[in-house]
Structure 1
Amino acid sequence: MGTPQERWCVVTGGRGFAARHLVDMLIRYEIYSVRIADLGPDINLEPHEEKGNLGQALRLGRAQYVSMDLRDISQVNKACEGAEVVFHMAAPDSSINNYKLHYSVNVQGTKNVIDACTTHNVKRLIYTSSPSVVFDGVHGIYNGEESLPYPSKHNDSYSETKAEGEALVIKANGVNGLLTCCIRPSSIFGPGDKLLVPSLVAAARAGKSKFIIGDGTNMYDFTYVENVAHAHVCAERALASDGSAAKRAAGEAYFITNMEPIKFWEFMSLILVGLGYERPRIKIPASVMMPIARVVERIYTILAPYGMKVPQLTPSRIRLLTCTRTFNSAKANDRLGYLPIVPLQEGLKRTIESYSDLRAELLPRKEGPSKAAVYLGNGLVADILLWREKRLTFTAMLAFIVFYASFVSHGSTMITAISKVLIWASIFLFVHGKLPNHLMGYTFEKIPDSKFQCSEEMTRRAALSVASVWNCAVDDLKSISSGKDWMLFFKIALSLFIVSWIGSMSLSNFFVKVLPFNFIVFYIYDKYEDEVDRILQTVFPIKRFSDPDFLRLLNPFKPVDKHD
């Protein structure tokens, strides 16, 4: 059969997460020399790779790197020339819901790989697909089998185009002697992952890891990355076998899991607790999060060209977090001989150990309040609008809803609404004052007079605040009168326009439009401060938006300490 150096396999997307583990496994097994194909112009090895199997194989000529864009057929042909096997693992980031990108890579790119395989007489093609090809984002899947059809509508463009690519690979089976099959690994995790664990840690640092979206009972199949690599090797060996075994394995798709279903949020908890973070406990219904996710996704579609990063909170992701998705790997066991080689708990242990640098006690934390918190006074208002105290935020929202339903929705003016509130408050205080201290076993604490009085210190601070705002406004007017500070003029004009727009609203419109906007926009800025600042710097490049002038853009009449 020749020496290993004479038999080549290709791994497309070979510098990806799961692909790196497959490359390492192929090098260790010494069945093939490995051609690593990826987008980068050169291969940049990490220190452990340089010293490990990959670095040695590259030095000995048992591995080589090829720069390749799947969308360029000439580059794909060059990568596949002389190969016996192609492991097609390349795919764009699934979190980016960009249909044009996904189609060009997952469909057109896969077609280019198939054409190259048939042109250069490649014998076997193993395609890395996804269980999401049978997921519609609405109905959960329990112990799903490969007989499940593609849905009429997928959860996102990534899943839709992966299904199209998978169908092309299955259809290509037998063309010019090419044998194909598709691997559907479910929720890959393990060392080297740059998405799952880092995202969890980022959420923990932001105080969001305490929340469970949905009821927390949805089951999932997570697959340790080494088992995924092993499944690809099993598929290749099955297709390379003689007789009926290869025919049974070819032209099929296979679900690959650890065969140990677990509650989704329990799995997340095990990783977080293992790294020293808080276990998620507070449940938020998906119906509450979905409208927020749609707003965030809409904002991203508008601001993405200005540098906004892909948000983690999207409708498709919420559906993934709240639905059951478990799959049956019996077919893979029967036709490919696949069984997990690393149990789930051992995989979790290895994963947690590999991220020791992200442990809670070692992770540096951002010092000082965010600019959104500073602008809001870093007090009670900030706690409510930035969702820091969730019960307080929901209480405030409920109070606004009750106020709206009781005093505003019937077309009341501001004066009428305030008058009604004062009437009801007076009635409450009068009745409360008439109640005895003890009644039917209940104690009624009287409101002390001090609650209705302003202390001398409070009065002094209020007066100083008014004076400070006045002096700041005078300084700004002086700057405008000089006719030189165009940016300050723009900020003040914009702010006055916003004030006039809000002032022209009816009280009903104010409650329906302005208040909900505040609960969303400040929260988004608090979580994506750097991205928003970068966008503002692009739009207004005169000064950095990390200095106090950024606060003046939000509110030109708010006094700002220039020494902060």
Structure 2
Amino acid sequence: ALDGLDLTVVAGDVLDPASLVRAVEGVEVVYHAAARISLKHDDPVATRINTEGARNVVEACLAAGVRRLVHFSSIHACSPNPPDQPIDEARPLFDDSPLAYDRSKAAGEGEVRAGIERGLDAVIVIPTAVIGPNDFKPSRMGRLVVDVCKRRLPATVEGGFNWVDVRDVAAGALAAAARGRRGERYLLGGEYLSLHALACQVAACCGVRSPWFCSPSWLAKLGVPFASLYAAMTGKEPLFNAASVDIVRHHGLVSHEKAARELGYSPRPLRETIADTVAWFRERGAIR
């Protein structure tokens, strides 16, 4: 992912405070995007990386006199309630979520807040569901794109997300570093689309048949044990579980008006993102 870029690579570990101090020494702006995504109810590793890791980054920035920290939070750190009102920067943290990822990202924001109270200049960016090209691992959404194009995803589940292009998240973070107000949160969203509609757009870009069935949540949950069994047999992480079936029914209404007003944030159309993502996977030979 870093091949051909004009940069210096410095090894570091968010759980190794000494390595962080060395990594940020002499640096003006730190972008803290390291995190572990988890769909488990309890995940000690995710909790350490997302919460303790944020605390260690804050301490390193304070010790090194970093001019500004841009901390990447998540829409899942924001409470989904009330569900009928758009989520904006005033939405409380989701610190009582049943999922470890949500709780740990909310706690990570708390660590940054504590650092700000101690004098740290930091801003917080809050991306929604990220999708886009340059998905090297790939992510869960990258896997979904590939599976649709290879006709390995005959069905989807009801619900959807507010989707944002990874390139627009990067641009928003750069703008937050340059123009964001100290201590402020900036929600970086895009547009809402159901999972089924997203899969259909991906299929159209690939020139294959769209998934033929959109499962209601209750039926999808009945299929979770079979998805888990298939994942265990193939050695892959399951594409969905009971938690992810619930997640796609939350965080749909999102407002990025503040980022647009203060940062000049302007996300591209989702159709463009989908087309570019499919083209990128095709160029890498992951799909035909």
TM surpasses 0.5: yes
Residue 218 of structure 2 corresponds to residue 273 of structure 1: no
Match of 1:109 in 2: 53
2-structure distance, mates of 1:348, 1:307: 27
Q: Distance in 2 between matches of 1:309 and 1:355?
A: 19
- 1:141–1:325 Cα contact (<8 Å) kept: no
Post-superposition shift, 1:175?
2.3
Correspondence 1:199 to 2:144: yes
8 A Cα contact 1:84 1:122, kept in partner: yes
Does residue 118 (structure 1) correspond to residue 50 (structure 2)? The answer is no
Deviation at 1:91, TM superposition (A): 0.9
Contact 1:210 1:278 in 2 (8 A): no
Using the TM superposition, give the Cα deviation of residue 129 of structure 1 relative to its aligned residue in structure 2, in angstroms.
0.8
Partner letter of residue 35 of structure 2? A
Residues 337 and 110 (structure 1), Cα distance of their counterparts in 2 relative to 1, 3 Å cut: same
Distance between the aligned counterparts of 1:277 and 1:96, measured in 2?
33
TM-score normalized with structure 2 length: 0.86
Q: What is the deviation of 1:155? A: 4.9
Q: How far apart are 1:126 and its partner, in Å? A: 0.6
Alignment partner of 1:347 out of 267, 273, 281: 273
Contact 1:201–1:272, Cα closer than 8 Å, also in 2: no
| Contact kept? 1:181, 1:251, Cα under 8 Å | yes
Do residues 251 (structure 1) and 191 (structure 2) align?
Answer: no
| Cα distance, 1:80–1:335 mapped onto 2, change above 3 Å | same
Q: Is the 8 A contact 2:15 2:56 kept in 1?
A: yes
Structure of greater relative contact order (alpha carbons < 8 Å, 6+ residues apart): 2
SS class of match (2:125): strand
| Pair 150,313 (structure 1): closer, same or farther in 2 beyond 3 Å | same
How far is 1:238 from its partner?
1.4
Shift of 1:95: 4.8
Q: Secondary structure at the match of 2:258?
A: helix
- Residue 150 of structure 1 and its aligned partner are, at CA, apart by 2.3
CA distance in 2, matches of 1:282, 1:203: 13
Residue 152 of structure 1, CA deviation:
5.3
Find the residue that maps to 1:167 and give its secondary structure: helix
Match for residue 68 of structure 1 among 12, 19, 35: 12
Which residues of structure 1 form unaligned runs of 5+?
1-14, 16-44, 58-62, 240-248, 363-564
1:11-30: per-residue Cα shift (whole Å, max 9, x none)?
A: xxxx6xxxxxxxxxxxxxxx
Amino acid at match of 1:151: F
Find the partner of 2:246 among 315, 319, 322: 319
RMSD: 2.8
State the match for 1:483 in structure 2. none
- What is the aligned partner in structure 2 of residue 309 from structure 1? 236
Q: 1:80 pairs with 18, 21, 24, which one?
A: 24
- Distance of 2:68 and 2:36 partners within structure 1: 23
Cα deviation, residue 262, structure 1:
2.9
Work out which of the residue numbers 49, 70, 77 in structure 2 matches 1:133.
77
Alignment of 1:261 with 2:192, yes or no, is yes
TM-score by length of 1: 0.46
Q: Give the count of matched residue pairs.
A: 283
Aligned residue runs from structure 1 range 399-414, under 5 A: none
Tell me the equivalent position of 1:165. Answer: 108
Tell me whether 1:99 sits opposite 2:30 in the alignment.
no
SS in 1 for 2:122: strand
The question of 1:337 aligning with 2:264 is answered yes
**Aligned partner of residue 187 in structure 2, secondary structure:** strand
Q: Give percent identity, aligned residues only.
A: 23
Aligned to 2:172: 231
